[in-house]
Structure 1
Amino acid sequence: MYFVVGVAFIYLFVLVVRALKKYIKSVPVRKEKAESAKSLGEVIKRYHMQRKMTQEFVAESLGVSRQAVSKWESGASDPRQQI
């Protein structure tokens, strides 16, 4: 009986160690995902800045006001909430 409990404990310990190793190795991946998962407003801002577009042009293209685009980019509002 004690042998079975001991084996089960060792097996559980091995599983915990494996899980911790996997978690520790995933830190860079999780950081990369967090950086790439920026808000939609940040993506819009980066896109229009790279292409030298104005907020007004982006707003007209999307059919919204320039103020809406400005609020999205600053994080004051989220475009997904307005749908």
Structure 2
Amino acid sequence: MKVTVFMIIVGIIFLCIFVGLLTLIVRALLKYIHSKDVRQEKSVVRKSLGEALKVHRTQCKMTQEFVAETIGVSRQAVSKWENGTSDPSTSNLFALAKLYGISVEELLKEVE
């Protein structure tokens, strides 16, 4: 069976196209892999301080009453912090973060 110059050229063209497509796929995969941090950061939903406080309280399986008694405020104060009517003082914010087992920086990082 004779191999013509035309068949060789067609084969080389298909090989070049295949290598080019393979290169593009590898580049796209590498870019996707390296963008993991960006994707995770964007997936974090920003919330208000009250929402963040409530999320951490519920994750710790604590009631508003327990939190209030532990840090020495009323249950209504905790409720107002969580619904956004008021904000905790700096000392109470530190106490809440300590109670929830996180740093104040971590807590505030979640806030818009």
- Structure of greater Rg: 2
Q: Provide the TM-score with structure 2 as the length reference.
A: 0.38
Higher relative contact order (CA 8 A, sep 6+): 2
Tell me the TM-score normalized by structure 1.
Answer: 0.49
